[in-house]
Homo-oligomer: A and B are copies of this chain.
Amino acid sequence: MFESAELGHQIGADSYEAEVPALREALLEAQLELVQSPRFAVVLIIAGMDGGGKGDVVNLLNEWMDPRYIQTHAPGLPSEIDLERPPMWRYWRELPPKGKIGIFFDALYTEAIRDRVFERIGNAELDQAMERINRFEKMLVDEGELVLKVWLHLSRKGQKKRFEKLQKDPATRWRVTKADWRNHEHYPEFRRVAERALRQTSSAEAPWGIIEGSDFRYRNLSLGKTLLSALQQRLNNQGEEALPVTVPPILPRIDSLNVLRCLDLTQSLGKKEYQKQLARWQGRLNRLSRRRKFGKLSVVVVFEGNDAAGKGGSIRRVTGALDARRYRVVPVAAPSDEELAHPYLWRFWRQLPGRGRLVIFDRSWYGRVLVERVEGLCAEVDWLRAYPEINDFEEQLVRHHTVVVKFWLAISKQEQYQRFQARETTPFKRFKITDEDWRNREKWELYEEAICDMVERTSTQVAPWTLVEANDKRFARIKVLRTLCERIEEALERL
């Protein structure tokens, strides 16, 4: 993999000087075209061997292009706030909006590679980390972003030579640290681990470009041309070209049996029994949230359901049991323009709770496979790929000690009709019913299909769906509270 990048590539000063001006101009022009019509973001990942000139090329790109539309992200060690959330959170946060170039500098890959070299993790953990990055990059590509990955390579000899040269000059001496020399001693391990990491992440969507870093002219020209051709290709490709569908279509349904129709919606609870149960489960939830070990968990609760199924009322019974300092409710409506300029899941990543906290989503990322699917608000490929993306998202949460509890509040078509009617006649509730609600209702069967597909594809062992029979509000609320308590208890026991 690295053979070609250890040959000692060089470019003469003359041909470098001759080529650079046109390259710079073309890069700047391409960048400004992107700024003018921000159809996608560029995610440029720069990694490589120490001494390979990573810092230099990042500075160079900022110099050659307009730095106002470049965001450089060099993460360093994760902060306290980062550590309370899944490892990818800090990269999600730094994703550039459409129209900008985000340079990820020694990010994403570096930590895992270093950890493997110094044997803080094994091969399995390395592979796991690479797989996580693969999924992240695939998601970016599917979202239409341009993902470029460049590895600046140096041979062992080349690295030594580079460090010695930097050390000789008083102006650059500070750049070679003790850690660099220590890493140099581990060069063979670094090369082996990097090879493994790159092999596993050289995907069709986002392959690695490996550039020899010893000669600055060769390195600069190679990187500049790589970026330029990728940019131009995407910019010239004006049409909204269909992405290849890699997900098989949904299986057709053969009979009329489905998880929703099997629910027993007649289940109910008397008022007195409800009061008793409510006190019992709210008390239990409150005590759970005050346990010392709860401070090591985060909780994400998702409320989805038919219109008028009683999400708001159920949420209030949950929050009623909790200290307001511990939770936040996030009502999900139309995305803001900042959210629209980022990949779909960005708006949910930015809301993730820290340790000892709950975030309750009133509607959620499932909008994509429900309303957006049924109403044709996104392409089929987009909602089809949402299933694995969502599973991946939730798995990352669960792995990071977040309890993910998802409720589908189900009512019958008849019950919905009665509730809509009631809303229209209560002055105080009239704002809760719109023409859109009536229109959605006409698509009841299409929604039913979408819900069943959603449950089938995203009810996983780590983040199962709980279907809540909600024709009777009291029954539904108790089932929600009880399930939530049980799921938190399980998680506390596993700690």
Binding site for B on A (CB under 8 A): 25, 29, 32, 36, 55, 58-59, 61-63, 66-72, 74, 79-81, 103, 105, 174, 290, 312, 315-316, 319-320, 322-325, 327-331, 336-338, 362, 428, 431
**A336 CA to B323 CA, complexed, in Å:** 33
Q: Is the CB of A315 within 8 A of B80?
A: no
**A290 CA to B55 CA, complexed, in Å:** 14
Q: Is the CB of A67 within 8 A of B337?
A: no
**A232 CA to B430 CA, complexed, in Å:** 19
Q: Is the CB of A68 within 8 A of B323?
A: no
Q: Is the CB of A323 within 8 A of B59?
A: yes
Q: Given the known A-B contacts A80-B80, A323-B55, A336-B337, are A63 and B316 also in contact in the complex, defined by CB atoms under 8 Å?
A: yes
Of the residues B55, B72, B319, contact of A63 by C-beta under 8 Å: B319
Of the residues B61, B62, B63, B337, contact of A337 by C-beta under 8 Å: B337
Task: List the B residue with the shortest CB-CB distance to A73.
Answer: B325
Q: Is the CB of B79 within 8 A of A36?
A: no
Of the residues B62, B80, B322, B330, contact of A324 by C-beta under 8 Å: B62
Of the residues B290, B331, B431, contact of A68 by C-beta under 8 Å: B331
Contacts of A25 in B (CB 8 A): 428
Closest CB in chain B relative to A11 CB, distance in Å: 22
What 7 A-B pairs come out closest when comparing CB atoms?
A74-B325, A72-B324, A68-B331, A68-B329, A58-B324, A67-B319, A62-B324
Q: Is the CB of A362 within 8 A of B36?
A: no
Contacts of A428 in B (CB 8 A): 25, 29
Contacts of A290 in B (CB 8 A): 174
Q: Is the CB of A324 within 8 A of B105?
A: yes
Closest CB in chain B relative to A95 CB, distance in Å: 15
Task: List the B residue with the shortest CB-CB distance to A341.
Answer: B336
Of the residues B55, B70, B81, contact of A79 by C-beta under 8 Å: B81
Contacts of A68 in B (CB 8 A): 312, 315, 329-331, 362
Q: Given the known A-B contacts A59-B324, A319-B62, are A67 and B329 also in contact in the complex, defined by CB atoms under 8 Å?
A: yes
Q: Is the CB of A71 within 8 A of B328?
A: yes
Closest CB in chain B relative to A364 CB, distance in Å: 13
Q: Is the CB of B67 within 8 A of A36?
A: no
Q: What are 26 of the A-B contact pairs (CB < 8 Å)? A: A25-B428, A29-B428, A32-B431, A36-B431, A55-B324, A58-B325, A62-B319, A62-B324, A63-B319, A67-B316, A67-B319, A67-B324, A69-B331, A70-B324, A71-B328, A72-B328, A79-B80, A79-B81, A80-B80, A81-B81, A103-B324, A105-B324, A174-B290, A336-B337, A336-B338, A337-B338
**A55 CA to B324 CA, complexed, in Å:** 8
Contacts of A79 in B (CB 8 A): 80-81
Contacts of A330 in B (CB 8 A): 68
Beyond A55-B325, A105-B324, 12 additional pairs, beta carbon < 8 A: A25-B428, A62-B319, A67-B319, A67-B329, A68-B329, A69-B331, A70-B329, A71-B328, A80-B80, A81-B81, A336-B336, A336-B337
Of the residues B71, B316, B338, contact of A338 by C-beta under 8 Å: B338
Contacts of A59 in B (CB 8 A): 320, 322-324
**A447 CA to B67 CA, complexed, in Å:** 28
Task: List the B residue with the shortest CB-CB distance to A65.
Answer: B316
Contacts of A315 in B (CB 8 A): 67-68
